Structure 1
C-alpha cells in the first residue's frame, strides 16, 4: 500500500529515522528494496536523511547498494548530499560502487566536491582502505601484500606486540644515558614507534582506526608485565636468594620471592582470563522467525522500545545488559569495556577481572618490597655521583639504573590500580556495575534524537543540505561530548568512577539513593557472598550468564523481569526503576 507519491510505510518510517518501526516492518515481510515513485529505496532515503543506524539496519537486512534512482543516483550519492560520516562509511564498507555515474556523469567524488562534503568522502575512503581517488591503498612497506591478507589478525597481533618494544626501549634508553640525553632519545623512540603504529592503523579494518579501539593499551600492560617477570627471574631472584647474612635473612627473602612468584602467576592468569573469556555475550536468535516472535512478545507487553530491544543484535535486551559498540554485541550484566584487557567486563569474566586487579596490586607491593632488599644489598659500594639527584638516589641509580626505572614505572601503575580496586569493592558491596554506578538504569524508553519528518522528493541541490556535514546525534558530534585527551585518559584509567564515587555524585552514593532502592541488592554481606561464593569456577569459564542473586541462581542472559525476591526491597514506578542506588547496609 502506497500514497500518491509512492511512499509505503517503510519509506515513511525512514523519513522519521524510526529504526524500531523499520525493524518491525522488515520482519513483517515488506521488501527492503521497494521503490517509491521516483525510484528511491528506503536505503537511499536513510542515506539522504543522515541516519546511520537506519542505513546499518537496511544493509544488514540485505538492501542493495547498487540500485540507482531514475536520475542514476545511488545510495552513496545521496549519502554524500547530507554528508553524514557514518552513512558514507557503512555504504563503502558494504561494497557501494565508488565510481558509479549518474545520468549526468557525476561520480560520488564529483557529488562530494560540489556539495562541500569532500572531507567526509576522503575520510570514509581512507578508513575503508582506499586512497582519495577511490583506489585500494597500497602500503609503502615491504611485504605488505603478505601481511595484509588478513588485516584484522595482522593489526591485532602487531598492535599488541609492538608496545613490548616501546616499553623496553624507553626504559633501556633512560637507564643507559644521562637525563639530558636520555629524555630526548626516549621521546624520539616514542615518536618513531607511534609513527609505525599509525601506519599500520591506516590499513587496519575501519573499526580499528583509532588507537583506543586496538589492543595497544593491553600491549603496554602485557609488555610491562613481561619485563617485570624477566627482571625478577634474571636479576632480583638470584640476588635476593644468595646467602648473605645468615640463614634467617636468606629464608625470609626466599619466602618473599615465592609470594611474588605466586602473585605474578595469578596476575598473568587472571589478566589472560579477563582478556580471552567470553564476557557474557547475550546469544543471538536463530533466524527471522525467532526475531519476529521476540518482537511480537514485546509488543504484547507494550515494551517494544529502545530500553528493551537492541536493533543491532535484533534481540530482547535482558535487564542490566548493555550493547557495547566496541564488541558489537550485547553483554549480560555489563560492567564496562576495558581497553587494558581489550575486552568487555561482564557477568562471565567480572570476577576474574577483579582478581586480576587484586593480584596486580599485591604483586606490585611484593615486587617493591623485594627491591628494597635487592638495592640494600647491591648499592652498598655504588658511587654517589650523578647529574641531578641526591646521594642516596644516585647510589641506587648507579647500582642498577634499569631495575630502578622499571620499578618506578611499575609502582606508578599502583595509583590507578588502587583506585580501580576501591571502586570495584564498593560496587560489589552495593551489587552494582560500573555502568550502573556512573549512569544509573533507565528502563523507560529514551526520547529519540532523530525525529525529522518530511516527504519532499530527494533534491541534491537543497542549500540546507549542501552545507550539512553531519546529522544531529551522529558520529561527527561525539567528540564534542567526549572531552579532551585528559578526559579520555581519566576514563581509560578508571579515575572517573573513583572520583564520582568519592565525591558522592555516583548513583550508589547520590543523595537520592534511599528514594530509589537498588532492586538487585540484599545488603553488603549477601551481595559479597553472591559475587565471591558463586560456585562457578574461578580458574575456568562459567556457564554463560549464570550467577547468584540473593543466594538463588539466575541467568543474566535471559532475565527480563526483576526477580520476585528483589521486589521486596525496591520501590516500583510506572516506568520501572529510573536509577540504581544502594540501600543502607
Structure 2
C-alpha cells in the first residue's frame, strides 16, 4: 500500500473538526489509524516509487502494544455481562470459564455487585476468586476496568488486592499504558497518584507513557503527562520552566513524541510539545525530523507551527531528501510554498526574504495610507471628468492601495488571511475621516455658521474631544489579557484541582496559556493569551474589546455618534448658506442638498461618506445596548444563536463516576484554526440563513424556492466580513427574534440580573465600600475587577457564577 493510498483511507478516520473553548477548531479525542501494516514515506530507493517502503514497525508501535481496541472490549462485555445477576458456583471446575467471563464483563461494565460476589468472601461465596485472575488472553480485571474508563470498579479491585501494575497482553503493557494510550486522564491520574504505579514503565516495544499519550490524540492526556510528571522540576521552586526533562524520549526507531504528533497531524499536541521545550530538529533512525513527518501528514497547521517555531527547513533525510522533496512526493508542494511565503521566506530556496520596511514603519504606513487615498478618491468623484474615467481612476486607486498593503506593508508585520482586518488600516480609515471632518469644520462650517449655531459648535467640540480621547484609550489599552502561567508547580496544581472537580478539559483549562480558564474569557490566537470577559474584536480601534476597555469603547462610540449628528447638522446649515439653485437643477435632492451638490461638491460627497459611517455606528450602538441590557457580550450572544455542532472538549470523566458539570460547558466555543474568521463565517452564514428563512412559511415548493434563494443570497451578504465588521449579522438575528416574539433562552443568559442591575454593573466599578458616584462611573479596572449582580468580581479568576472577591 502506498502512502497516498493509506492517507486516503485514513481520511475517513481523520480527527473530526469540532469547536472548543480554547480558541478553536480542534481535533476529536481518538484519531485512529488502525492499519497494522501501514506503509509510510521513507527514503530508500532512487526514484519516487522506490522511495516508498513499508515501515510497519512505526504503526505497530502505535497500534500494537498488546492493547485491545475499545470496540473489542464492548463486544466481549456485551456477550458475557449478566446485568448484575450472579451465577452460584456449584461446580467450580465446570464453570470456571463462564464465571471468568462474568467477572471480566463486570469489570468492563463497572458492575460492583458482580465483582463483590465473586471476588470477596461472603455467606453465598465462601471461596472467592483472586482479584488478579486473568481472561484467556492473560488480561487482568484492572486492565479491563481501566480500558473501559470504570474508575469506581478499578478502585474496588485495587482495594481488595488486585495488582494495578502488572504487565499483560502480547506487548506486556500495564493498565497505566492502556489508560494513557486511550486518553483516559482520570484513570491514569488515579493509578499514578493513588495506586503509585511505575510511571517509567515501557511495553515490549519500548513505548512509555509520553509516547502512548500522543497516540491517544487527546491533548489533555498529553498535557497531564508533560506538566505533572516533570523530572526536571523542583516541587518547591517557582522558577520558570525552560524545558521539561524527558520531553524528547524516543521509541526504538528514534522517534520522539513530537515526531509522532506531527505524523498524526495533531497540531494541538504539536503546539503543547513545542511550548514544553521539545526539540523540533531531532532526527529519527531514517533521518526524518518532525517537519518531514508533518509534511507526510499533509497537515498545514502542524507544518506552520513547526516553521514558526524556527525548525530547520533545510534538514535532509539519510537518503538526502529535503522538505521540498518530501512535499513533492506527498503532493503538498503548494501548501509547503504557501507556508514558506507566509513566514516571509522564498518558497523555492527557503531563505528569508528581505523586508522593505520595519514593523513600526509598516504599521505607520498602513495607518496613514487612508489619509492620502480617502481624500484622493473623493476628489476623483467630484472632478469634472467623464464618469467612465472616474470609475477607471477609482479602480486604479483601489487596486494600487491593495497592492501596496498586501505586497509591501502587511507582509512586514502580519501573517495569514485576516491580516488586513487585524492591521491598523481600518483605524487609519476612521482617523482620516475624522481629520477631514475637522478640517471642513474649522475652515468651512465655523466661518459660515458660528453666529447662528453656537450651541451645536460647543457640543461638537466637547464630543470630538471626548471621542478622540476615548478612541486612543480604547486602541492602546490592555483589553484584559490574562497572563500565561509559567510556574510548573502552579500548572500541575491547577491540573490536579480540575481533575478533582471533574473539569479537566479544554473548556476549563487553556491548552496554550496553561491556566484555568475564567468564565467569559476567550483565547486570542494573535496574542496567545486569554481575554477576560471578551466582547469582540474591533478593527476600527485595532484592538480587542474586553473587561478593561469595554466601557471606554462604548464611551467612544457614543461620543462619535453625537459628534456625527452635530457635524451633519452644521453641514446642512452650511449648505443652506450657499447660493440656492432652481427646482430643475435639484431633481430629487432637497434645496439644501442641492445647494451643497452644486456649491461644494467635495463636502457634499464627504457628507454621504460620514452618513454611511453613521449607519453602521447606529447599528453597533443598538446591538451593544441590547446585549448590555441582557447582561451578555457580543461573543456570548453570537454563540447562543449558533447551530449545534460536533463539539469535543477532550473530557474523559469516568463513565461510572458521574459528577455534575457546571454550566460553562456550553457557554462558549473558540475557534483556533488557521482560518479563524472564515471557518466561523460558515457557521454564522448557516445560522443567519436559518434565521431569515425561519420567518417565512409557504407550502408551495416553487414559491418557497423563490423566497429561499434570495434569502440565501442575503445570508451570504450579511455574513460577509464587511457586514460582520459593523454588526449587521447580529442585527438581523435580533430583529428576527423581535418579529417572531422570541425570548432569549433564559438558562443561557447566565449573567442577566435585570436591565437596571446589568447597566449598573457595566457603568460603575464599585470596589469594596464604594457607593454609586462620579468616581465609580469613570473608574477603570486595574486588572480584571468588575461588578456582577452588584458584587465585586475578578474576571481574571472568576470560575463560577456568584464567586465574589
Q: What residue in structure 1 maps to residue 405 of structure 2?
A: 197
* CA distance in 1 between partners of 2:420 and 2:558 (Å): 27
Deviation at 1:425, TM superposition (A): 0.8
Matches within 5 A, 1:197-346: 197-199=405-407, 200-206=409-415, 210-241=419-450, 250=451, 252-346=452-546
* CA distance in 1 between partners of 2:738 and 2:556 (Å): 27
Q: What residue in structure 2 maps to residue 581 of structure 1?
A: none
Among 375, 384, 387, the alignment partner of 1:168 is 375
* CA distance in 2 between partners of 1:374 and 1:522 (Å): 47
Matches within 5 A, 1:397-416: 397-416=597-616
Aligned partners of 1:163 and 1:216 also within 8 Å: yes
User: 5+ unaligned residues in a row in structure 2: which ranges?
Assistant: 1-200, 231-244, 652-670, 683-715, 767-774
* CA distance in 2 between partners of 1:481 and 1:549 (Å): 29
Deviation at 1:179, TM superposition (A): 5.9
1:130 to 2:345 alignment: yes
Q: What residue in structure 1 maps to residue 88 of structure 2?
A: none
Aligned residues: 524
1:47 to 2:262 alignment: yes
1:113 to 2:322 alignment: no
Residues 433 and 473 of structure 1, relative CA distance in 2, 3 Å threshold: closer
Q: What residue in structure 1 maps to residue 570 of structure 2?
A: 370
Among 169, 185, 206, the alignment partner of 2:393 is 185
Residues 482 and 440 of structure 1, relative CA distance in 2, 3 Å threshold: closer
Which structure is larger by alpha-carbon Rg, 1 or 2?
Answer: 2
1:556 to 2:763 alignment: no
Residues 509 and 319 of structure 1, relative CA distance in 2, 3 Å threshold: farther
* CA distance in 1 between partners of 2:300 and 2:585 (Å): 59
Aligned partners of 1:275 and 1:342 also within 8 Å: yes
| Bigger RCO (CA 8 Å, 6+ sep) | 1
Aligned partners of 2:427 and 2:539 also within 8 Å: yes
* CA distance in 1 between partners of 2:432 and 2:504 (Å): 46
What value does the CA root-mean-square deviation take over the aligned residues? 3.1
Q: Deviations over 1:192-212 (max 9, x none)?
A: 111101112234343586311
Deviation at 1:482, TM superposition (A): 2.6
1:72 to 2:72 alignment: no
* CA distance in 2 between partners of 1:377 and 1:214 (Å): 41
Matches within 5 A, 1:137-148: 137-138=352-353, 144=355, 147-148=357-358
SS in 2 for 1:211: coil
Among 610, 625, 628, the alignment partner of 1:425 is 625
Deviation at 1:324, TM superposition (A): 2.2
Among 350, 353, 364, the alignment partner of 1:157 is 364
Deviation at 1:238, TM superposition (A): 2.0
Deviation at 1:16, TM superposition (A): 3.0
Deviation at 1:67, TM superposition (A): 0.4
Aligned partners of 2:580 and 2:591 also within 8 Å: no
Q: How high is the TM-score relative to the length of structure 2?
A: 0.61
Q: Which moved more, 1:179-188 or 1:100-109?
A: 179-188
* CA distance in 2 between partners of 1:321 and 1:309 (Å): 11
Residues 11 and 326 of structure 1, relative CA distance in 2, 3 Å threshold: same
SS in 2 for 1:323: strand
1:513 to 2:745 alignment: yes
Q: Deviations over 1:259-310 (max 9, x none)?
A: 1111111111112111111111123334222211211211122111111111
Aligned partners of 2:220 and 2:650 also within 8 Å: no
Deviation at 1:437, TM superposition (A): 1.3
Deviation at 1:158, TM superposition (A): 2.3
Aligned partners of 1:277 and 1:541 also within 8 Å: no
User: 5+ unaligned residues in a row in structure 1: which ranges?
Assistant: 242-249, 452-471, 566-585
Residues 441 and 58 of structure 1, relative CA distance in 2, 3 Å threshold: farther
